Amino acid sequence: MIAAPPLTLRHHDAAGMHELRDLLIAVYTEVYADLLSDPFFSPERYWQRLESYAKWPGFALVTGWLGDDLIGYTLGYTLPKGSAWWRGFQGDVPPGALEEDGKRTFAVTQLMVLPVHQRRGYAGQLHDALLADRPEERATLLVKPDNVPARTAYLSWGWQRFGRLQPFNDAPVYDSLMIELDRA
């Protein structure tokens, strides 16, 4: 087996995300090519979501590069006090599990790698770089139940199914996953 070329990881804030807009959308449109006819997955709607996420405290973006080529990225933000993130949640959880105080939960909103570069460990590197040294006690993310490769990867990285969630009326119903973060 030939080793994958080393990935260069770069950390960005909201301004950096805006500077990379065209490259981020290009990766998104290739990764989500089969879903782009659904208005929820349109590049315009996707960018609106990214702009919304970038306004929240704790926003972080990690990009992965092979030479000068962006091959993947991940991003997220700290859920604010009273966050609407859990709107549309389906499942039984302990009291208070869905209450946010502005410091408790980091939401991973995207993790993607171009198809030609998948299954080489790059997603895991991006994931680990995004969550390293986060001050929150836990992280959450959403994954489509039929996205077996992504779901399998998350579970192998320690994520656990928390319930199901439909974040917007026109969005799919996702599996909601949760992981405790190492705050040592």
State residue 171's pLDDT score. Answer: 87
pLDDT of residue 72: 98
User: Residue 145 pLDDT more than 70?
Assistant: yes
Quick: pLDDT tens for 18-43: 999 999 999 999 999 999 999 999 99
**Strand ranges of the sheet holding 89-90, from the earlier edge strand across to the other edge:** 8-12, 60-66, 69-78, 105-113, 138-143, 174-180, 160-165, 89-90
- List, for residues 47-106, the tens digit of each pLDDT value: 999 999 999 999 999 999 999 999 999 999 999 998 999 999 999 998 899 999 999 999
Q: Kindly state the percentage of the chain with pLDDT values over 90.
A: 89
Report CA 30 to chain centroid distance, whole Å. Answer: 16
Q: Is the pLDDT of residue 1 over 60?
A: no
pLDDT tier at 184, thresholds 50, 70, 90: low
> C-alpha 98: how far from its chain's center?
19
Structure tokens at 137: 């006690």
